[in-house]
Amino acid sequence: MTLLRMILIGWILTRYRLDTLLLHQQVPWPIRFAQWFFPFRWIIPATGSEGRRVRLALERLGPVFVKFGQILSTRRDLLPAEMAEELAYLQDRVPAFPGQQARKLIEGALGAPTTELFQHFDETPMASASIAQVHAAVLHDGRAVVVKVIRPNIRKVIVKDLRLMELMARLVNMIPDGKRLRPLEVVDDFRKTILDELDLLREGANMATLRRNFEDSELLYIPWVHWEYTRRSVLVMERITGMPVSDVDALKAAGIDMKALAERGVEIFFTQVFRDSFFHADMHPGNIFVSRAHPESPQYIGIDCGIVGSLSREDQSYLAQNLLAFFNRDYYRVAELHVESGWVPAGTRVNEFEAAIRSVCEPIFEKPLAEISFGLLLVRLFQTARRFDMTVQPQLVLLQKTLLNIEGLGRQLYPQLDLWKTAKPFLEHWVREQVGPRRFIKAVQQHGPGWLAKAPQIPDLVHDTLLNLRKIGGVEQRLHERLDDLKREQHKANRRLTRRLLAAVLLLFVAWTGDPSAWLQSLSWQQWAGLGLGGLLLLWP
């Protein structure tokens, strides 16, 4: 099946003439020369814009490739405007499947007709994405809801694409420098992420967690989940009213403070990553809306929480310190942190790594901070990876993707966004809270009750520990005594071996000095003495 899928992918790339994209790239001349002899170049015309052909090809290739297009659509600073506009259609305007089929899937999952479940169900989808599509409905108590249903047979398509990605990752892994990228681990991480997205019960739990983390917050609102109508393939949640974050004209017309909106997006990201260690990892514009309630203090509305990420405390600490070091241009500290965290080999020379980082960052920092693209900085840094054998960190892939989404969205809303100025105070505050008295007091507050509950057990634990140490000491003493005995036995064995080797030499000497034919009949007294000494050495214990 993988071979058939590869053939299909090749045909789709050919059908939409994506080979024309190479004409604008710096590719080796043999490839450019071979393009002129590409047979389909003269058979299939390249109709339509390149952006439209890329978008249609990704739609035909399926959900895995649509996800890739969604990520690209947020990077307007890296793509031509026309292509970015076309790829934006992938965020919520993927071709829908029939509403009648959606109704049957919902009824099969919930075990009842939609007429019993809802006062009204609209078969015309509100939006359609790569994994699922959503329909408007009204509960019998009058509450407006949204019903999300997984596309039919989508798991089979995803599994096929994942097998193909794994095959491609294995091929990359065979390249001498490919293992540094850890392609198999990255694909495995992506597999878990996208398969988790097929479980809407998990998405509902993610929404509940995010809602609890931002309860009563002016920054972010997450809709309610109606658990009684939610299953693995169906999710029913509160219907929200807001403006799509990608509709900049509508936001401006509503009087939304665009600067505050862009900065709050950055604040939400860093709050999720460092305060909660639980972040929405699919924050493309199709999943984000803006409330009309308070235009001077804009509030985001987040949906589609199927992909979330988290970091360990160690990763949080290293990441925060790395970003702060970048902000302060402390390149030595950046290099040092990479070595300490194991992101580069332990034997890496920090001074050389610092010099390489400096050569990458300084030209960028010469620009005004508002014009610096963090995404571009990451690209430049990764270009130093080959020299220092820097490995890809799978646990940071989702974070990097989300950060690129946030920066792309923020610059779309407010091109003068200073990501560095917005993020630096937050990071400094977080780092201060991780050390010193505040952290100690917080730890006491969190763990104090548990410590008090265990306090009565401490004397018994100390007593048991001392007994164990005494036993260990006794065992160690017996081991030392046994080791001394073994050494003495070895010494004796060595002396016995030496004596017997000497006896063998004496016996050979006696036999060699006599007449081999009759030496026993005519032994001299010296030979008898040698035989006696040899025998004595052999019998000596």
Active site residues: 282
Around Cβ 165, how many Cβ atoms within 10 Å? 18
Please name the helix (run of DSSP H) or strand (run of DSSP E) that holds residue 301, with its range, or none: strand 300-302
Say if CB 389 and CB 344 are below 8 A apart: yes
Count, residues in the chain: 541
Say if CB 328 and CB 361 are below 8 A apart: no
Structure tokens at 101: 């089929």
Indicate the residue type of 254.
A
The 10 Å CB-count burial string (b at 16+, else e) for 489-518 is: eeeeeeeeeebeeebeebbeebeeebeeee
Say if CB 373 and CB 351 are below 8 A apart: no
- What Cα–Cα distance (Å) separates residue 321 from each residue in 316, 325, 430? 9, 6, 10
Q: What is the DSSP string of 326-345?
A: HHTT-HHHHHHHHHHHTSS-
- The conformational region for residue 391 under phi > 0 = left, psi -120 to 50 = alpha, else beta, is beta
Structure tokens at 362: 């300084």
Q: What is the DSSP string of 22-67?
A: GGGS---HHHHHHHTT-GGGTTS---S-HHHHHHHHHHHH-HHHHH
Question: C-alpha angle 311/276/321, rounded to 5°?
Answer: 55
Which is nearest to 332 in space by CA: 314, 357, 310, 313?
Answer: 357
> Taking the CA atoms of the chain, what radius of gyration do you get in angstroms?
36
Backbone angles phi, psi at 507, to 5 degrees: -65, -40
Residue partners of 110: CB distance under 8 A and separation at least 6: 117, 229, 231, 234
Around Cβ 349, how many Cβ atoms within 10 Å? 11
Say if CB 386 and CB 180 are below 8 A apart: yes
Which is nearest to 248 in space by CA: 374, 93, 410, 406?
Answer: 410
Q: What is the DSSP string of 227-261?
A: GGG--SSEEEEEPP--EETT-HHHHHHTT--HHHH
Structure tokens at 376: 């571009």
Query: What whole-number distance in Å separates Cα of residue 175 and Cα of residue 179?
Result: 7
